[in-house]
Each structure stands twice: as structure tokens, then as C-alpha cells.
Amino acid sequence: MRAVRSPAALFALAALSACGGEVRETDWRLRFDSASLRVRSVVIETRILAGGCDGDRSVYEGAILPGLAAPIPPRLGEGRHGFVARARDASCRFFAEGCAEVTLPTSEPIEVLLRAREGEARCDDVACVDGLCAGVDFGEGLPPPTPRPIAPPAGAIVAEPPRLRWLGVPGALRYEWALVACVGPLAACPLEGAESWEATLADARPEALAEGRYAWRVRACDAERCSAWSPPRLFALRARGDLDGDGRAELAVGAPERGDREGAVYQHAGASPLPGVAPAERGAPVAEPGARFGLAIEAADLDGDGAPERYVGAPFEDGATIDEGAVWLFGPGEARRLESGAPAAAATFGAALARCDVDGDGLDDLIVGASQRDEGRGEVEVLYGDPDLAFERRRVLQASERRPDARFGATLACVDLDADGASEVVVGAPGDAGPGALSAGAVYVFGPGAVPLVWTSPDREADGRFGAALARAGDVDGDGGQEIFVGAPGERAGDGRGYLFTGRPGELPDTPRAVPSPGAGEAFGAAVAVGDVNGDGAPDLVIGAPAGADGRAYVFLGSEDPAAFELRPGRILDGEGGGFGTALGLLDFDGDGRADLAAGTPDTGGVRLYRGAATGLAPLPDAVWGAPELSDPGRYGAAIAPRQ
């Protein structure tokens, strides 16, 4: 491999023509066997060999810095290929390598795992400068590499025109980006021939956009030519939780034990000032005692028309068998019952819900937990979005080691941790025993690989319930990576603990930062909500601690400056009992540009609302709602949406 001209270059690539039929552009990922190898790496050299790992003809060469995604190679020929990666340290010594053999074309993701291997320092007759062999060329006449979009995350909902960001590439003198309004799947968005704009840095901020769904893409250009366009990304511009298009979010509150545990959901329309108008009640079209309709609530735009549907879980609803569970879809003029693709007794399908774009097609997908299925081993179903809402395409997710009472699927979240344009599905199993610790808990991350990544708590405490709460935390610390919060309310003898996992382009995280409980015996981490409460542009965390005498919620303010972010609460909200901190939701309820907190007190049937402010959340509630049916609170406040 020829080295780069400048040791400051982030990466460069060269491609040779491939014989045979051409296949689509191939996306591939690099992952280290351990965190220590990743830290040691300075430069990663990549090659694609025709014929496999032992092939002698290179059809692609490139080099990247760790933390960046693997460059998108040109179109490759059909047949067997070896995807090779070797890592150098600061002395230019090869110390890790890996190769994946793949027959193209393939619809499966390609991942190269780098394992430790000591080699010789080698730069031939040129100097080694910070891991790069200086003074050599990667090839003439090539355009810059294709940039990779990183923000906003795929499928994000934003309240104002977002800052578009991508990974800068060497050799680029300017960037061109295009953005269009889009209805339906991403493939139908009219990006071909769309007007484009120029940027000199690796970001841009569109202005004067109306509410709606937008697709965008970017390419890099030098003085003579431009790269291929990046894969497109989609975001929705609307108030988070706004289902009726009035510019204000609607707050949905579940009362799953109302009546004879039939359950109900109350939808409160956004208003300024708080508290808003009387809620609209919604129950299952066919009320069933014991169904617990309203135990899980989500809004998602699975048909891509720009108007989200409401989805409500009734996990103990009977079908052909007892307690198999169901999810109810509420759209314009319709209410429809959705059941599992393989209904089973006591499965509790609908116990947890989440939305995200798993396959990167621009349509929301619905993630449904069935945590009691198969003696509590649990299961999750992905219902893929489509314009007809037919739900003919589904995928079943299971733990790699299925244990009774693990409750896999009790909690769910979605986040694009590796910035590839498709969300990872994150599944909590808070009852998972694991080795030597009953109910220590575990979290499973389903990404592009066939086998999920498994996270466990560093402490592995019995009854720690790691994974009892999950939330996509955005870029809470301003370091450029997407974070996810994992709650473990039983750890440290019931004090509770939280963990933040940070993703990076091209790789999934495996080592968290701990968020210790500020109090004692409070079950810190039992619930979490994410939103921008002070309007500074950075997401903030509100973490519930319901086990104390009155319950508490701790507010951790995010920052766009990594140096300014602190893992300590900027505000402590004290409840007045009733299970305060069990369920939390953040949304801009009053339309002032800051997220407001809705904190449930389901033991007494209530919700307390705290207004967002420039200094964070107000210390006292602006409104306290009791259950609409005072004689039958039904655990009103046990579920709140949106949470993030």
C-alpha cells in the first residue's frame, strides 16, 4: 500500500476497476476485539481483495483514523471478496488485523473484527509520523471520498430546522448538499436532480423550512470533480409528540388499571399557559377486563405520510389464548388491533413499545416487547413500516441466551449508535440472571450483525435490574456521538445507578460511564426522559428515583461543549409520594421552545407538570393533575408519552 502525502490526512482511498457484473455500493464496518486495542490504534489500513482473504489482486485500498466509519468503496464486482483491515500504532507497527470473506452481492452487513497480532514497524524508506507513513501517494485523478452524514440521527424529530453535519474528508475544497420534502419511503424522495447548496465546512443549517418530512444528502468536491452522493438521511420537522399538526405536543397518559383493569389513555392537548384543557379519553374499542390497555404508549409514522399514528399496548388482552396481548393502532378515522405474528398464551405482546427506522428506508418501524413470553424469557417483534400499514414484514428478536424470567423486551429504545443511517434496537432484560447474579439484568443491542451485542453492568449485582430503564439520550455531552442511558435501580443495595453508552461512527460501544445515584435507597434509574429543558440546543436527562419517602427526579443538563458537561444533577425535584419518578415524559407542552416535564404519581393517580426554563426545570410544579375519574384513578400516570 502506498502511503499518504500528508500525515494530517484523515483517510484516503484508491480503487481499481473490477471485472464481472457490478453490484451496489457496499457498506462495511470495522470493530476491535477489545477496548484496549481501539485505544492503541492510530491508523487503520483497509483493502478489498478479489477472490477472498488470500486473494492477490486488490480492488480497493484506503486508510482511516479510528472512530471514523469505513469509507464507502466504489461498485465492486460479483463474487468472493476479502475485506481486510490492519491497525497501526504511533510507531507505525501493525498490532491488530482482521479479514471477512463475503460473496457479493449480499444483503447482509459486512463487519471486520480486528484481533491482536504483533508485527514489525514498516514504512520502507519514508518517515513514520504519528502512525502514518509520510511522503507517499494513494493515486492520482480520484475524486474525494464520499462524506458520511452523522446528524441529525436517521429518523429524528426536530422542532426547528436542524444543523446538518457529516464527517469531513481529505481533499475536499467544498461540499454540496441537497434537501427535499419527502412523503413515503426514502427511496421515493425526489433527490435526483434536486437543487443543491454549497458549504465549505462539514455542516450546514437549512432555513425557512415548513413542517414536514425531509430527505438530504451530501457529497465532497475538489477543484475538478465530486464524489458520489452519500446515502440519504431523513428527518421530520414538527413538535415532538404533535399528532394533530397544531404545532404543540399532545401528552398521552395511561391509566392501565381503570375500571376492572380494562385500562384507558388520556390525551391532553398542548396549551399555554399550563395546564391545558380537559383530556380526551381513549379506551380499547373492545374493552376487556384485565387487558391493561395503556400500559405502553407510542406515536410513530409508519406509513410516512407525515401524520403519526398513536399505538397503545394492551399486554394482558386475550385473543385466541389468555393474556397473549395486543397493540391498538389509532389513525385518522380508524382503530385497528395488531397481534403478534405468532400469538402465545401469557406472552404480554405490547408490554413495551418504541419507534425507529431499523432498515433505513425512511419509514418508522414499531418495536413491540412481549416480555413474559415463554416463561418470562421474552421476545421482541419489529413491525416494519409501509405506506399501506399492512405489517406483512416482521422480524423476531430474541436474547442470545434465553433464560426464564429474564423479561427480555420489558424495556425498549432505538438509537443510531454507529451513524450508519439505520437505528439499532436496544432491548432491556432486567430479570436476566447471567453468571452468578439473580436479576442482575442485561441489555441487548441489535445492529447489523447476526448476533446482538450484550451489555451487562460492570458491577453485576444480584437484583440490580440493569436495563430496567432505557432511553436514547442524543448527544448529551457534546462529543459528537449518540448516547443511550441504561438504568439499574436495584444496584448499590437499592440506591440505584445509571450508565451512559456513547456510540461512534462505524462502531458500537461496549464500555459505559457510570452515573451514580445522588441519594440513598431511592432506586435511582427506575425511569428516564430526554429533552431540551433549558432551550440551549443540547438534550437533557431527567432520571426518576421513586423509592424514597416522597420520590425524586434528578435533572442532568446536557452541553454542546464536552468540557462543560458534568455527571451531576443541576436540579433536584422532590415529589409528594404517590410513586413520583415512576414514569416521566418530556415535551414542549406550552410551545415556548423548551421541554416541560410530566412526572406521574400512579400510586395516587396523578401527573405533576414542571415548566422548562433557561436555568432548567422550574423547582415547583406549574400544574398538578388528578385522575380524570377521581373515584377510579386506575394508576393514571403509570405511562407517559413522549419520553424522548
CATH at residue 377: 2.130.10.130
The reply to whether 464 falls in a domain is yes
Quickly state the pLDDT bin for 137 (edges 50, 70, 90).
Answer: very low
For 247-268, what is the mean pLDDT? 87
Bridge partners of 441, per DSSP, are 466
CB-based burial of residue 417 (10 Å sphere; 0-12 exposed, 13-18 middle, 19+ buried)?
A: buried
Q: How far apart are CA 210 and CA 277, in angstroms?
A: 27
- Shared domain check, 191 and 81: no
306-310, 361-365, 559-563: least confident range? 559-563
- Shared domain check, 151 and 80: no
- Shared domain check, 152 and 123: no
Q: How far apart are CA 291 and CA 423, in angstroms?
A: 31
In Å, what is the CA distance from 410 to each residue of 11, 407, 443? 42, 6, 10
Bridge partners of 411, per DSSP, are 428
165: left (phi over 0), alpha (psi -120 to 50) or beta: beta
For 312-338, what is the mean pLDDT? 90
- Shared domain check, 46 and 90: yes
Contact between 154 and 423 under an 8 Å Cβ cutoff? The reply is yes
- Shared domain check, 39 and 174: no
Q: How far apart are CA 266 and CA 279, in angstroms?
A: 6
Query: Which cell goes with 513?
Result: 460511564
Tens digit of each residue's pLDDT (9 = 90 or more) over 397-410 = 999 888 999 999 99
Tens digit of each residue's pLDDT (9 = 90 or more) over 29-68 = 788 887 777 777 777 878 888 899 998 887 777 666 555 5
**Which residue, among 169, 166, 138, 136, has the nearest Cα to 152 in the 3D structure?**
166
Q: Is the pLDDT of residue 348 over 90?
A: yes
Torsion of CA 300, 303, 304, 308, to 10 degrees: -30
Largest CA distance in the chain: 85
Query: Which cell goes with 533?
Result: 429543558
- Shared domain check, 345 and 480: yes
Collapsing DSSP to helix, strand or coil, 117 comes out as coil
Contact between 584 and 544 under an 8 Å Cβ cutoff? The reply is yes
Query: Which cell goes with 519?
Result: 441519594
Q: How far apart are CA 610 and CA 619, in angstroms?
A: 8
For 414-435, what is the mean pLDDT? 86
Q: Is the pLDDT of residue 608 over 90?
A: yes
Tens digit of each residue's pLDDT (9 = 90 or more) over 520-547 = 999 999 999 999 998 888 899 999 999 9
- Shared domain check, 490 and 459: yes
Q: Is the pLDDT of residue 138 over 70?
A: no
**Which residue, among 25, 332, 357, 71, has the nearest Cα to 186 in the 3D structure?**
357
Q: How far apart are CA 353 and CA 449, in angstroms?
A: 23
Mean pLDDT of the chain: 83
Q: Is the pLDDT of residue 25 over 50?
A: no
Q: What is the pLDDT of residue 435?
A: 66
The reply to whether 343 falls in a domain is yes
Among candidate residues 103, 133, 163, the one where a domain is terminated? 133
Query: In this structure, what CATH number is given to the domain that contains residue 225?
Result: 2.60.40.10
For 327-347, what is the mean pLDDT? 89
One-letter amino acid for residue 371 of the chain: S
Q: What is the pLDDT of residue 13?
A: 29
Q: Quote the number of domains for the chain.
A: 3
Among candidate residues 176, 209, 237, the one where a domain is terminated? 237
Domain that holds residue 120: 28-133
**Which residue, among 564, 569, 617, 625, has the nearest Cα to 594 in the 3D structure?**
617
Quickly state the pLDDT bin for 350 (edges 50, 70, 90).
Answer: very high
Q: What is the pLDDT of residue 260?
A: 92
- Shared domain check, 151 and 129: no
HSE of 96, CA atoms in CB hemisphere, 13 A: 24
Tens digit of each residue's pLDDT (9 = 90 or more) over 510-526 = 889 999 999 899 999 99
Tens digit of each residue's pLDDT (9 = 90 or more) over 376-395 = 999 999 999 988 999 999 99
Q: Quote the percentage of the chain above a pLDDT of 70.
A: 85
Q: What is the pLDDT of residue 37?
A: 78
Q: What is the pLDDT of residue 271?
A: 65
Q: Is the pLDDT of residue 9 over 50?
A: no
HSE of 355, CA atoms in CB hemisphere, 13 A: 28
- Shared domain check, 424 and 360: yes
Name the range with the highest mean pLDDT among 13-17, 221-225, 264-268, 607-611: 607-611
One-letter amino acid for residue 623 of the chain: A
Q: What is the pLDDT of residue 406?
A: 92
Strand 233-237 relative to strand 156-158, pairing: parallel
- Shared domain check, 517 and 543: yes
- Shared domain check, 610 and 546: yes
Tens digit of each residue's pLDDT (9 = 90 or more) over 446-485 = 987 768 889 999 888 889 899 999 999 988 888 778 899 9
- Shared domain check, 505 and 406: yes
Q: What is the pLDDT of residue 574?
A: 92
Q: Identify the H or E element spanning 316.
A: none
Of residues 12 and 482, more confidence is placed in 482
Q: What is the pLDDT of residue 278?
A: 60
pTM for this prediction: 0.77
**Which residue, among 57, 68, 127, 58, has the nearest Cα to 92 in the 3D structure?**
127
Contact between 595 and 531 under an 8 Å Cβ cutoff? The reply is yes
Q: What is the pLDDT of residue 151?
A: 84
